[in-house]
Every structure is written in C-alpha cells, then in structure tokens.
Amino acid sequence: MALADLTKQIAQQALLSATAPSKEPPATSTDPLGGVILGQIAAMQKQLKDDEELVVTFQQGMERIRVMEIFLASPQVAVLIGPDAHRTLTRVVAAVASLQLVCKTAKTAPGAKPARVGLITAKPKDSSA
C-alpha cells in the first residue's frame, strides 16, 4: 500500500510542475531583425557559383524594384536601393518588420560579371565625442 501512495504522490508532483507557470521568460532572439535579414541574404550570396547572382526584388503595389543595395539605417529601418522597371534609381525606406523581399538565383550571361547585393549597416555613433 505504501508503494501505491508513493507512486500517486510522484504523479501529483509531476502534474503540478507541468501545469505550473514558468518562472523563466520565453526565449527571444537577441539579433535585431534587420541583422537577421542581412545575414540571410549574405548566406545566400555566399552559396552562389561564379556564374550565378542573387536577384532580390521588392514590390509595393504596382511599384517593383530590383534591390542592388540594402542599407540598415537602424535595426528597425532599412533603405532599399535599386532600379525600377524604367531603370530609374529608386530608394525605398521601410520598417524592417514589414519588409518582404523575394530572392532568386539567376545565371549570368556568358562573360558577364555577376551582380552582388551590397549590404551596409549604419556605423554606431561614437558617444565619446
């Protein structure tokens, strides 16, 4: 009978600990979202062969640009730079959290140099000045 009571007590403790609220905060990413996006694009470009390029596009409504450079003005704001359909240099300032980019691998023409997306982060301001 004592063994049955002990088993019942262990089962109750296990049930209580499983249903008790966690004292630890949920795990969150320490990387700012903009850095994660730049890291993903850099990783995709690193995997390209010599005759391939990464075509990154951004579309908002009817406007679509091929992104040739991404500048992270801050961890929350990105500036996308590239030509639109009329080959006009275009800049898009967007919140990183709402940014949706399409990335495709494409072969380059024989003899052509593959284009690479420039990835630029803002330099931290020197607080000693």
What lies within 8 Å, CB to CB, of 46 at 6+ separation is none
Q: What is the DSSP letter of 124?
A: P
Compute φ and ψ for 19, nearest 5 degrees.
-95, -5
The identity of residue 47, as a single letter, is: Q
pLDDT digits (tens, 9 = 90+) for 92-101: 999 999 999 9
pLDDT digits (tens, 9 = 90+) for 3-30: 666 666 766 666 565 555 544 444 444 4
* Under 8 Å between Cβ of 117 and 82: no
